[in-house]
Structure 1
């Protein structure tokens, strides 16, 4: 529970994140990945004459990150978690025995003689 503008806001555990929060999070991930891409391209330029192997790796990383960033940003909303059941099952009652008496042991009487 948090207060926002004087009104109490309750978060329902099974509800999805709001659309504006989802878009803001995707924009944040995109900006972070593009910043890493920019830094890797700058590192590739600076390291080209010093350490060429590292510069090539940084250049490849800078080439792949835009694709990965766009795919992640356009992935869409998360799937909602499964909601808990609204029905609470009560304790189960034991069943009465069925009308089938063949399962009960029979006591046989000897035949009566007359």
Structure 2
């Protein structure tokens, strides 16, 4: 059997992100935030006897980041972007009732009228 190449897929303007892409993005954000938490805890250990206020700050970040990471990872899927309206207004027709006729334009010079000729 041949290996099928993964073809590039183009996003449709109004479509949501696929569920697999959404889960992959959530996992990526969670892993990145946990890496930041790990670094902050390690910085706390390294800085504890050198810069105690900075070490306390990194400890607070390390303590709060798991909560924030879980909230971000469990956030709902994105809202579908609003689609452009496909409704087209019907053409406006002139309101002429039955039996009415449209007056024809008069030909002649400006200022001429049939009342002046008589």
Tell me how far 1:50 sits from its aligned partner: 0.2
1:89-108 alignment to 2 at 5 Å? 89-90=89-90, 92-93=92-93
Residue 111 of structure 1 corresponds to none
Following the alignment from structure 1 to structure 2, what is the Cα–Cα distance between the partners of residues 8 and 54?
A: 47
Q: Which residue of 1 aligns with 2:66?
A: 66
| Pair 1:94–1:7, CA change in 2 (3 A) | farther
Runs of 4+ aligned residues of structure 1 deviating over 2 Å after TM superposition are 4-11, 88-96
Deviation at 1:6, TM superposition (A): 7.1
1:41: which partner in 2?
41
- CA gap of 1:60–1:7, structure 2 versus 1, over 3 A, is closer
**Shift in Å, 1:90:** 5.0
Question: Which segments of 5 or more consecutive residues in structure 1 lack a partner in the other structure?
Answer: 97-114
Q: Size of the alignment, in residue pairs? A: 94
For residues 88 and 53 of structure 1, the distance between their equivalents in structure 2, rounded to whole angstroms, comes to 64
Q: Using the alignment, how far apart are the partners of 1:52 and 1:75 within structure 2? A: 35
Question: Comparing both structures, which one devotes a greater share of its residues to strand?
Answer: 1
